[in-house]
Amino acid sequence: MAGFVALGQRYQVTLQPLKRYADERPIGATAARGRATAAARATSAVDPAAMVRTVAASAVLKTRVDDAMDLAIVQARGTASGPRRASAASVAPAKPMGILMATQTVIGEGLRQADLAAAKSYGATVIEEGLDGKMLLKVDTVERAFGLVELLRAREVGSVSPNFLRKIVRLAPSAPAKAWALDKIGVPAAWAITKGSSRIRVAVLDEGVDTKHPSLKAAVVAERDFIGTKSTAMPDNDDAHGTACAGIVLSRSATFPGVAPRCSLIAVRIAMGDGTPDGWVFDDFATADAIDWSWRQGADVLSNSWGGGAPSDAISRAFARARTQGRYGRGAVVVIAAGNDQMPIDFPGNLPGYVTVGASNHKDQRKTKTSADGENWWGSNFGDTMRVLAPGVFIWTTDISGAAGYDPTSFTKEFNGTSAATPHVAGAAALMLSVAPHLSASTIRNLLGKSAKKIAGQTGWTPQLGWGRLDVAKAVAMAKASAGPAGGKTKAARKKR
């Protein structure tokens, strides 16, 4: 049986080639739409014909496999071997919101010449070299990719991982409602201190951002497409998720403002729609490289409204570099969505030491399938890494300009999920760094927890609530107090990027 090791845990995998899945799939089956549960939608979410077209449309993805029908749907199960016993969450099959597909490629880091020679003797070729020593190697079949992983792991290289293609199932939207989120989390009071500084850069890693949007264009300082063929981070078709996330952070619209409207945007396209109504896809190598590129571009905050499936050491290591090497060694603040399945937190939100965000509603409740908001098709995930909750229903934000996206206008009132909660926290971190650029990533993370408002009945940290609901005004005030009268600006922080 094929397998791999990630985060010190060994996973055994079973592979179902897409061509066999297509043969076994009921004729006429399509991805479930609307407000069905994530699990129900995921069971029919892989459309083989749509996946073939998607791979062919991506200059990046089509290098990962000779024939898209050779992609293999993965079920990963942790084993009891290794330094720690698998938890109940880690031994479960792939989670509903994170569908994995194995490719013919493998990610290696820290490969020596002798390691490369051994890989080439196995039949591998290097097809791409990334930042920070990453290499993408390709063999002739998906099954043999796992053999290459074992070969390199036995040679004790820096890191080796299968390069998975990941599919995310989009959450069905909210119904339109009155704007409430910014007032609830104290943004107007925070603006009395700062609306942000253009020196502070927030990277939004997602399925593209409409960088020509009138409310976002002026904020853009860098953009890149890691999955397609564009020279910008512009999305395709109705891929509006990233534009909505970016607007929550720093939209400059008077009616649909972001949390930190005077901060700057690094737009990073890591994913694209998969040709079904509810899905988008990305791969581990491109995502890890996008993370490394973001912090090297000067991102102070990385906002990540994505996740699911088995862990990847390549992605984990890239996040670790951002957190330890970004911002001249003070660390970039990495904010990650918890997930929307009302189950244990998805990867990468389950990584310790980052700012993992769950969702709350307009009643200051943790978002669950029975909370008082009527959205019974999803609930916020929970677990040991939960830091804070933030607004995740009925969110007003930017949409793709024109008719594409969530709404025929250039804005939407229907965004939701921990995807919406995460950029609220990213915006808060950006405001905090605007008044206190010397603070470390770990200090920002701690202050976000200390400043959070306790949910009714909460007395301390819990895996469901973290430290409570985001309080932007208090968080910015605490950051400013930590900065001292001069704002705490170091010579490096004042340096013009």
DSSP one-letter code for 352: T
Among candidate residues 47, 115, 206, 274, the one labeled active-site is 206
Residue 222's φ and ψ, nearest 5 degrees, are: -165, 150
Q: Residue 291 corresponds to which amino acid?
A: I
Examine the residue annotation and report whether 215 is marked as an active-site residue of this protein: no
Buried b (16+ CB within 10 A) or exposed e, 174-187: beeeebbbbebbbb
Token readout for 182 is 């910014």
Cβ-based burial of 125 (10 A; exposed 0-12, middle 13-18, buried ≥19): exposed
Q: How far apart are CA 273 and CA 170, in angstroms?
A: 10
Among candidate residues 294, 419, 434, 451, the one labeled active-site is 419
Other residues' Cβ atoms within 10 Å of the Cβ of residue 456: 7
Q: How far apart are CA 203 and CA 429, in angstroms?
A: 12
Q: How far apart are CA 267 and CA 222, in angstroms?
A: 6
Examine the residue annotation and report whether 241 is marked as an active-site residue of this protein: yes
DSSP one-letter code for 382: B
Buried b (16+ CB within 10 A) or exposed e, 23-34: eeeeeeeebbee
Q: Angle at CA 149, nearest 5°, toward 94 and 89?
A: 25
Examine the residue annotation and report whether 197 is marked as an active-site residue of this protein: no
Which residues lie closer than 8 Å to 372 by C-beta, 6 or more apart?
Answer: 361, 363, 365
Omega before 348 within 30 of 0, i.e. cis: yes
Place of tokens 């603006």: 191
Strand partners, 466: 462
Strand, helix or coil for residue 11: strand
Among candidate residues 58, 215, 241, 313, the one labeled active-site is 241
CB 308, CB 340: distance < 8 Å: no
Strand, helix or coil for residue 422: helix
Q: How far apart are CA 358 and CA 183, in angstroms?
A: 18
Q: Any idea which residues carry the catalytic annotation?
A: 206, 241, 419
